[in-house]
Amino acid sequence: MPRPPNILFICSDQHRADAMSCYGNPICRTPNLDRLAASGVLLERCHSQNPVCCPQRCSIMTGRLSRNHGRLTNGGSLRTDLPTLPSILAAHGYRTAAVGKLHLTSHADAIPATPYYGFQSVTPLEDSRIGPYLDWVLEKFPEQAGYSIGALFNLPTDENFWRGKRDFRKEYLAAREKYVKPLEISATCNWGFGHWSTLPEAAHQNTWLADRAIEQINGGGREQNDKPLFLWLGFVDPHNPFDPPGRFQKMYDPAAMPPPIFRPGEEAGWTPHHHAMRKYFSVFTRRDWQTLKALYYGSVTFMDEQIGRVLDHARRTLDMENTIVVYTADHGEILGDHGICGKSAYHYDPCHHVPMILQWEGRFAAGARRETITELTDIMPTLLDAAGVHTDAALDARSFAPLLMDDGSGYTPRGHAYIESYAGGPEDPTHSPHTWAKTIRTDRWRATFYPDPEIGELYDMHNDPEETHNLWRDPAARPVIEDHRATLMTRMMLTDFPVASLKPR
């Protein structure tokens, strides 16, 4: 029997697909990911199914939509009874390890112990940064203690977590006032969206993550190295606050950044919760948005450099003819377009359109680009399929592995992507269910439906790719809306609950 392939799964947080040179961005440089794409398959049109961190990450791990694995929004924890990608691989003899952000449990809880959803080893780095990374910074870079403590957020609230430890909750607000707030972009753009970090590159979380991933690739002794490796590498970047170190702060000139997308009059087609979200960001100036974009691009390029270190080490250490490499993100980032920032229930393409690059030397088509619409949740059965691992787990997803082979003709596309949301952004006061957005994204159209039938969105992505003219109330568009409503109804009926297969009878 051939040895199952190693799987190196790299997942970033809040990386919109068009913020990469291999996806056509003429400014944002990603040379290492470009190199990966040049030797692998780049999926041009992959979409997140719930563009917010925890729900989509749980979908990546389980192959289930958020309404079927139970995590609709951030907060709470994934059920422990569901089969996951790492638990299935571990049952088939894999060494499973995670480094960095997973966000399968609430940030309010303690950092979990192993085994953790099938991972035999976890080196965590969640949004709060509490844990081994912060301990390392305080030990190795004591001059950065004030800044590092002041930049903490989403701190655990579980008292058991803090027992016997330094309780940063008692000091982080004072440290923030002293060390972080003076680094804000402007009086109108606060530190939580972007600021001028004082961390040197050597102390940054991306460097620490790359070092820990390299340690895992090096293995845990002969017995462990005899097993195929599944390594999850989760970067927190480029999630806000956009705060790259040193030279990456200056790499992109804010004045040279294209301003956010906005067409005068487009707000007439916005939904009520979009207007509510826009109200929060109305104080941001054009310069603020351009500075945020420059820092976001800097974060992406710095992350790319650290990914390059990991990939170079993998190429020296692993048998790349028997190693699958994946790069993707949990969701995108709107980045000031249409007057808002972030993700969630504002289903513009940059919110849910994510990068997806897969490489397997000698197996996946090299340098291929596929324009077929795909879904991020399908990555779990795809990797199992490619690795030759069978599961009877009930899934909402299906493998797109045939799309990665040869000319990709063996894959039958759905013809659409499904996206769902159950809450707006934290800056949006709109109550549920008014933010319960459900989208069908087809080749030409983006149709988004809400519980109130009078509210909706329809954008012609061929003639209006920037999504500035909502056609929902145009009588001529009614047949298109109803056609997409029918697709949504069929899709929801087929995923009322996960099934092991949907083979025709």
Q: Does residue 381 have a cis bond before it (omega within 30 degrees)?
A: no
Q: Burial, 427: exposed, middle or buried (Cβ in 10 Å; 0-12, 13-18, 19+)?
A: middle
Which residue's entry shows tokens 């979380």? 205
- The whole-angstrom separation of Cα 333 and Cα 16 is 5
Quote the strand ranges of 214-360, DSSP E: 229-234, 323-329, 353-354, 356-359
Residue type at 423?
Answer: A
Burial code (b: 16+ CB inside 10 Å, e: under 16) for 34-53 equals bbbbeebbbbbbbbbbbbbb
Q: Which helix (H) or strand (E) holds 349?
A: helix 349-352
- The backbone torsions φ and ψ at residue 236, rounded to the nearest 5 degrees and listed phi first, read -80, -35
Collapsed DSSP state (helix, strand, coil) of residue 359: strand
Collapsed DSSP state (helix, strand, coil) of residue 335: coil
Q: What structural domains does the chain harbor?
A: 6-408 (3.40.720.10)
The separation between the first and the last C-alpha atoms of the chain, rounded to the nearest angstrom, is 33
Which residues make beta-bridge pairs with 446? 441, 459
User: Is the separation of the CB atoms in 59 and 49 below 8 Å?
Assistant: yes
What pLDDT is stored for residue 503 in this prediction?
40
- The whole-angstrom separation of Cα 430 and Cα 442 is 28
User: Is the separation of the CB atoms in 175 and 150 below 8 Å?
Assistant: yes
Angle between helices 53-62 and 379-387 (to 10 degrees): 30
What pLDDT is stored for residue 153 in this prediction?
86
- The whole-angstrom separation of Cα 171 and Cα 197 is 19
- The whole-angstrom separation of Cα 151 and Cα 135 is 14
Calculate the dihedral angle through the C-alpha atoms of 54, 60, 66, 70, rounding to the nearest 10 degrees. -70
What pLDDT is stored for residue 225 in this prediction?
66
Put the strands of the sheet holding 417-420 in their side by side order. Answer: 417-420, 438-441, 445-449, 456-460
Angle between helices 286-317 and 31-38 (to 10 degrees): 50
Which residues make beta-bridge pairs with 383? none
Angle between helices 205-218 and 286-317 (to 10 degrees): 20
Angle at 106 between CA 101 and CA 107, to 5 degrees: 65
Residue 94: both structure tokens together = 């894999």
- The whole-angstrom separation of Cα 487 and Cα 417 is 10
What pLDDT is stored for residue 505 in this prediction?
31
Q: Does residue 241 have a cis bond before it (omega within 30 degrees)?
A: yes
Residue 114 Cα distances to 61, 129, 298, angstroms:
16, 18, 34
- The whole-angstrom separation of Cα 168 and Cα 59 is 32
What pLDDT is stored for residue 500 in this prediction?
57
Number of helices (H), then strands (E), belonging to the chain: the values are: 17, 13
What pLDDT is stored for residue 23 in this prediction?
98
Strands 41-47 and 368-375: parallel
Predicted structure pTM score: 0.96
Collapsed DSSP state (helix, strand, coil) of residue 317: helix
Residue type at 403?
Answer: L
Q: Which of 331, 146, 353 is nearest to 240 (CA)?
A: 331
Q: Which of 405, 344, 419, 342 is nearest to 375 (CA)?
A: 419
User: Is the separation of the CB atoms in 311 and 10 below 8 Å?
Assistant: no
- The whole-angstrom separation of Cα 50 and Cα 399 is 19
User: Is the separation of the CB atoms in 206 and 302 below 8 Å?
Assistant: yes
What pLDDT is stored for residue 488 in this prediction?
98
What's the DSSP call for residue 20?
S
What pLDDT is stored for residue 173 in this prediction?
95
User: Is the separation of the CB atoms in 100 and 310 below 8 Å?
Assistant: no
Which residue's entry shows tokens 């997308």? 261
- The whole-angstrom separation of Cα 149 and Cα 358 is 37
Residue 286 Cα distances to 250, 290, 340, angstroms:
18, 6, 12
The low-confidence residues of the chain, meaning pLDDT below 50, are 221-223, 501-505
